[in-house]
Chain A
């Protein structure tokens, strides 16, 4: 019980910290932040339920007014803005990523990559695109065009999430709760 709580809280903090580290510029010049990497890691390391809870805890603190989203954003305003779909997708993305790692019994690196792609990219962008389509009054295809520039960075982050999860499974096998 205590261990579940502290792991959930620590990973919620990790999402925040990854959003605060300086941006990495991809070759294309599209700035990416590591925040969605944090979401993927919540799922792949903590598993479906705990991962989703960690993300919900993080979002609760954002809604309460802490500037923890990438770029120092926070407060209720972000839930009324065009990227609200992504925020709704965050916990579900972590859940799906965790579910893949829990259920698909291949090596942890492969399962984590698949989970990160399915949860952190597919699920996340489905919600994000629906959100932008509603908030900006565009069709789904038009909104999807706004998401395309971020896919390359997201694939990179999925690779990172897989590598980090595999590294953690070696360094601290007992702490990778998705496989315990």
Chain B
């Protein structure tokens, strides 16, 4: 399974994940406190410059990750042009893009295992409530392994449906998929117990 980490190595890749997360948290608070649209555009320009400084391909990937925001931009544009307060619209839109782009910067420059290590560390205080770190680690590994397994099963179900019906399989394959998933869960649970359990 592909992660969102950029394969283009940048200097930011070598920063510790925890530090990057703290910086982004602080940056996001600043972004949401910006007073008017000039500051908003300024922050956006600063972040865009940061992306470009890390390379053109990197910046292009970063831009692609912002695609889900365009519909919201459209809503804001229509809304604030209609209300005739474009300044506020620009502030809200630039704030939204800046905050998401800044957060994506961490995701793009931090490897999955480094991020997992941070999450594990944040979860250690929960150990006294019965959430053992090794159980969390095993669950994460199981999900990462089972997403492609289930995707394969969904594809197989869809193909066998298509071999028998002129209509496309839509929701009707979800029940058999869930049954297969539950059976897999039982098998893995048995296998874990057979190996000494948790």
Interface residues of A (CB under 8 A from B): 1-3, 5-14, 16-18, 20-21, 24, 34, 37, 41, 45, 57-58, 60-61, 63-68, 71, 73-83, 135-138, 142, 146, 160, 163-164, 167-168, 171-172, 175
Q: CB distance A164 to B174 under 8 Å?
A: yes
Distance in angstroms from B109 CB to nearest chain A CB is 10
Q: CB distance B140 to A61 under 8 Å?
A: yes
Q: CB distance A60 to B119 under 8 Å?
A: yes
Other than the given A17-B151, A45-B178, A79-B103, 13 more pairs (CB < 8 A) read A5-B142, A6-B189, A7-B185, A13-B146, A13-B150, A17-B147, A24-B171, A57-B139, A65-B107, A67-B4, A73-B68, A78-B100, A142-B79
Distance in angstroms from A87 CB to nearest chain B CB is 13
Q: Mark B136-175, 1 if CB is under 8 A from A, else 0.
A: 0011101110110111001000000000000000110011
Q: CB distance B143 to A3 under 8 Å?
A: no
- The number of A-B residue pairs with CB atoms under 8 Å apart is 177
In the complex, what distance in Å separates the CA atom of A167 from the CA atom of B188? 22
Q: CB distance B171 to A160 under 8 Å?
A: yes
**Would A74 and B189 be within 8 Å (CB), given that A1-B197, A17-B147, A175-B182 are in contact?**
no
The closest CB in chain A to the CB of B173 belongs to A21
In the complex, what distance in Å separates the CA atom of A113 from the CA atom of B78? 37
Interface of A is mostly: helix
The closest CB in chain A to the CB of B158 belongs to A21
A37: chain B residues at CB < 8 Å are 174
The closest CB in chain A to the CB of B149 belongs to A13
Interface pairs (23), CB distance under 8 Å: A1-B198, A2-B198, A3-B185, A5-B142, A6-B189, A12-B139, A13-B143, A16-B143, A17-B177, A45-B178, A57-B143, A60-B140, A65-B110, A66-B144, A77-B107, A80-B102, A82-B96, A135-B96, A136-B96, A137-B88, A138-B79, A168-B179, A175-B186
A80: chain B residues at CB < 8 Å are 28, 99-100, 102-103
In the complex, what distance in Å separates the CA atom of A84 from the CA atom of B69? 12
Q: CB distance B185 to A10 under 8 Å?
A: yes
Q: CB distance A82 to B72 under 8 Å?
A: yes
Residue B34 at the A interface, CB < 8 A?
no
Q: Mark B73-98, 1 if CB is under 8 A from A, else 0.
A: 00110010000000010001000100
B14: chain A residues at CB < 8 Å are none
